[in-house]
Amino acid sequence: MTKQDKIEMICRWFFYFVLGFCFAVLFWACVQFHTEVELKSKLYARSGIVVTVDRESDIVEWEDGTGNVWSFCGSDDWEIGDGIACIINGQGTPTLTDDEVIGARYER
């Protein structure tokens, strides 16, 4: 094997390594994008009125416009009658019983 053949072989292996690395990065980026889009499609917003504030157990319950009662931890400054807007994770299922409040803000 001549010196020229060795150089060509090294260049060829380097090219395959870079190509494989590019495919791996592309695959990772596609998986990350798909996961982000999938998570965003599970999120939705609800608003309502605070109906119960239990400071001992640190739980706030609120009722939305359709009569569903939701709860979350963090009774800090909440009072009965406060308007509330929440972001809810639907967990990718059609039922509401497994949905989770992931963010709550005062609504004016």
**What domains can you pick out in the chain, each with its CATH number?**
42-106 (2.40.50)
The structure tokens listed for 106 are 């005062």
In the numeric block, which tokens belong to residue 67?
A: 């009569």
Report the pLDDT value the prediction gives residue 31, as an integer from 0 to 100: 74
Total-model pTM: 0.60
Q: Give the residue among 78, 21, 69 at the shortest CA–CA distance from 48.
A: 69
Residue 52 confidence (pLDDT) = 94
- Please give the pLDDT value at position 29: 80
pLDDT tens digits, 14-44? 999 999 999 899 888 877 766 655 555 688 8
